[in-house]
A and B are shown apart, each in its own frame.
Chain A
């Protein structure tokens, strides 16, 4: 069935290190793809999105490119900060342009000074 698979955490990095969090999806068609971030004790915030193949979403130094060939949407950041410590969720739209989202299980990132 339709699903989203993320690399398992936790991921621990030193400040200024390069970050990659892998995300792959299964789908019939080309759903919109999202990355959400959840800081401790808070709700989810939309980090970035891409709505069609080859789109690149970007925000706050984070980037992800919609790759239909590999059905992937990996999250990257060139230089992480302590304030980036959070749980990151990859998600895809379920049906067409609207409808519920299907989430990965989340990847916890800890950045050490």
Chain B
């Protein structure tokens, strides 16, 4: 059973461009969570999704950030018009509906 997959592992964008981060949950997991980790800090919750539904987006910035988890395909975290402050590691986790979350390797976004 493959683990949580994220791609790309590293993403470089210039200010104003769009960033798309992908997450494929573990097989059988229908719950996906996105977290952001700033340098030297812990992870901060962003959004929690189930198939085709956003359950909790209380940690998402109000502008420029969006997330989806379609019926088919990976979950996508989309950041429009990136700024330097968006540079961080973005981690996806999945769970089968229980409380244990399994994390992917992360996408490290660098905004130039």
Q: Select one of A34, A42, A103 contacting B42, CB under 8 A.
A: A103
B9-61 residues with Cβ-Cβ distance < 8 A to A are 31, 33, 35, 41-45, 48, 56, 59
Are B41 and A46 touching (Cβ within 8 A)?
no
Q: Tell me the minimal C-beta distance from B45 to chain A in angstroms.
A: 4
Residue A51 is within 8 A (CB to CB) of chain B in the complex:
yes
Are B91 and A104 touching (Cβ within 8 A)?
no
Residue B1 is within 8 A (CB to CB) of chain A in the complex:
no
List the B side residues contacting A36 at CB < 8 Å: 103
CA distance A102 to B91 in the complex (A): 14
Are B101 and A42 touching (Cβ within 8 A)?
no
Are A42 and B99 touching (Cβ within 8 A)?
no
**Count of CB-CB pairs between chains A and B under 8 Å:** 60
Q: Select one of B4, B100, B106 contacting A49, CB under 8 A.
A: B100
A59-113 residues with Cβ-Cβ distance < 8 A to B are 89, 93-94, 97-106
Q: Tell me the minimal C-beta distance from B25 to chain A in angstroms.
A: 13
Q: Tell me the minimal C-beta distance from B57 to chain A in angstroms.
A: 10
Are A89 and B43 touching (Cβ within 8 A)?
yes
10 A-B pairs with the lowest CB-CB distances in the bound complex, closest first: A100-B45, A103-B42, A43-B105, A44-B103, A105-B42, A43-B103, A32-B99, A103-B43, A43-B106, A93-B99
Instruction: A51-B99, A98-B99, A104-B42 are known; give 18 further A-B pairs, CB within 8 A.
Output: A36-B103, A42-B105, A43-B104, A44-B43, A44-B91, A46-B100, A46-B103, A93-B99, A94-B45, A98-B31, A98-B97, A99-B48, A100-B45, A100-B48, A101-B45, A101-B101, A102-B45, A103-B35
Report A's interface with B, CB cutoff 8 A.
32, 34, 36, 42-46, 49, 51, 89, 93-94, 97-106
Report B's interface with A, CB cutoff 8 A.
4, 6, 31, 33, 35, 41-45, 48, 56, 59, 91, 93, 95, 97-106
Q: List 14 A-B contacts (CB under 8 A).
A: A32-B99, A34-B100, A43-B91, A43-B104, A43-B105, A44-B43, A44-B93, A44-B103, A51-B99, A98-B98, A98-B99, A101-B33, A103-B43, A106-B42
